[in-house]
Structure 1
Amino acid sequence: MEKIVLEYVDYLKTTKGISVNTEMAYRRDLMKLVKYLGAQGVTDVEKTTATNLNSYMLFMEKQGLTNTTISRNVASIKGFFQYLYKQKRIDEDVSEGLTSPKIERRAPKSAAKEDVAKVLAVPNGKSPKLLRDKAMIELLYSTGIMVEELVSLKITDISMDMGYLQCHFENNQNAYLIDKQAMKAMRAYLKNGRDKLLKGRESDVLFPNISGRKMSRQGFWKILKGYAAKAGIEGTITPSMLRHSEN
């Protein structure tokens, strides 16, 4: 089964143009599944059942894995079995019934939910800057990452096909699931915003400033403060308030 996994990952790399981080995530997730199935006596992909996969979901939950990690595994597994089904290597897609853990958007304790919604609604337009700001604020609220992590993100750190981002900050690596609203904002930004902000300049920064360089923490705080003012919010909504949202 390992050989088929490597074949699938190579297919993604050559036909889908996935990033190195995404490639590694697929391989890692699927090899863990192969190891689990092997321990259960299942070594042939054609003999894998929906029950086997559901059992693996329960196994991951018992291991104390986060919803983000489990959701990423679900995405990897579903993509793998969909590929096998389309290639007619299996008679049915046994992963069809798998579902990811529910991800909820909750207002941070230090800010009213209505105020957060107002701020999220302000950067609503098609200019590159508005698309960038919208994506940054949605991503911060969706994942709860630190502002230092947000402004340090590189284009290779985000996997749009799997719906998660990988942060490399202060020698730590953390994976975060991105919810649907943030994914929508990210797609719009990557399609119509980032390249226009860079104006042909080479950069691996995911959210460049108007000079095409990495944005500072203070720079993002000023952006957020400006949108809070435009939303007519009394007081201040800081990045920390949005970050402390539990999703």
Structure 2
Amino acid sequence: MTKTSNEYLQSFIEFLQIEKQYSNYTIEYYQYDIEEFLKFTNEQSIEDLKDVEYSDARLYLTALHEKQLSRSTIARRVSSLRSFFRFLSREQVITENPFLLVQQQKGAKKLPSFFYEEEMEELFAVCEGEEPLQIRNKAILELLYATGIRVSECTGIELTHIDFDLSVLLVKGKGNKERYVPFGSFAHEAIERYIATARHFLMKSADSHSFLFVNHRGRPLTPRGIRHILTKLIEKASLTRKIHPHMLRHTFATHLLNNGADLRTVQELLGHDHLSSTQVYTHVTKEHLRKTYVIHHPRA
């Protein structure tokens, strides 16, 4: 019996979870993008995914532009659908991928946002306090800034992943790839203090587990939980900008390069497979140098 479109979508989600081992956060985007396309196919009276053609894909791209979505959002939608139909082709549901030849026009690459060092100091200042949650929040902020790890990687840290003697952290990244990342004295002190004075207090009402960061009920923190904590810290520090999950990761990379770190080392610390993913930060640092020059040079 032929599956429905939603059943094919569910099979694809299971593929991403089990075979690709993508994070829940990434899978949510895939699911949303594909569900939006399925709404479009219903509007176009396309009842079977086998009937989707290249012309339909082009029409959908036009519809996205008419909604005035950003280039990055449209590119992500096309990429999600290309992967979905590639999966359907692999499963022999379809014979040709209608999104294979769809190209989204590339615009200027948006430079990643980051915090200046003065802004980081303001964030650390609002974390100060003796309450268990304040101690935890400072440990989270110190670790994210010290290591540049992803928020999803931060929530996966277990107590046994931390080597305090060497100040090194075992990180499990995308596709369950492992890497070791060093952390400095500030993060070392903040994490030790959190484990010694706050974590056991927060764990009182929860079953025992080995995850490092927990919520007020003692349960493992989720990526959404950490994003909420960071947003509250921004509000408390009265910084006039919005924070997104990767912002501290961008800050980590930018500050390293601004202070003379080489690109290959930053690539390894970030866990990037390709140097091109890291090179975007060189544009950030060049822009930072240019602005500094214009402000301070008498003949700029």
Q: TM-score range by the shorter chain?
A: 0.5 to 0.7
Q: Which residue of 1 aligns with 2:145?
A: 141
Q: Which residue of 2 aligns with 1:232?
A: 238
Rounded Cα–Cα distance in structure 1 between residues aligned with 2:115 and 2:151: 17
Q: What letter corresponds to residue 186 of structure 1 in structure 2? A: I
Q: Which residue of 2 aligns with 1:111?
A: 115
Rounded Cα–Cα distance in structure 2 between residues aligned with 1:224 and 1:112: 16
Rounded Cα–Cα distance in structure 1 between residues aligned with 2:176 and 2:187: 26
Instruction: Compute the displacement of 1:109 (Å).
Output: 5.6
Q: What letter corresponds to residue 168 of structure 1 in structure 2? A: K
| SS of equivalent residue, structure 1 residue 188 | helix
Rounded Cα–Cα distance in structure 2 between residues aligned with 1:155 and 1:110: 29
Rounded Cα–Cα distance in structure 2 between residues aligned with 1:237 and 1:112: 13
Cα deviation, 1:190-212, whole Å, max 9, x if unaligned, reads 11011111016311110011222
Rounded Cα–Cα distance in structure 1 between residues aligned with 2:172 and 2:197: 26
Q: Which residue of 1 aligns with 2:125?
A: 121
Q: Give the one of 146, 154, 157 matched to 2:158.
A: 154
| SS of equivalent residue, structure 2 residue 229 | helix
Rounded Cα–Cα distance in structure 1 between residues aligned with 2:127 and 2:147: 19
Cα deviation, 1:40-88, whole Å, max 9, x if unaligned, reads xxxxxxxxxxxxxxxxxxxxxxxxxxxxxxxxxxxxxxxxxxxxxxxxx
C-alpha RMSD over aligned residues: 1.6
Q: Which residue of 1 aligns with 2:45?
A: none
TM-score for the superposition, normalised by structure 2: 0.44
Identity of aligned residues (%): 32
Any stretches of 5+ residues in structure 1 without a counterpart?
1-107
Any stretches of 5+ residues in structure 2 without a counterpart?
1-111, 257-300
| SS of equivalent residue, structure 1 residue 156 | helix
1:181 aligns with 2:180: no
Q: How many residues align?
A: 140
In structure 2, relative to structure 1, the CA distance for the partners of 1:117 and 1:233 (3 Å cut) is: same
TM-score for the superposition, normalised by structure 1: 0.54
Q: Which has the larger radius of gyration?
A: 2
The ranges of structure 1 where at least 4 consecutive aligned residues each deviate by more than 3 angstroms after the TM superposition are none
Cα deviation, 1:10-65, whole Å, max 9, x if unaligned, reads xxxxxxxxxxxxxxxxxxxxxxxxxxxxxxxxxxxxxxxxxxxxxxxxxxxxxxxx
Rounded Cα–Cα distance in structure 1 between residues aligned with 2:116 and 2:147: 18
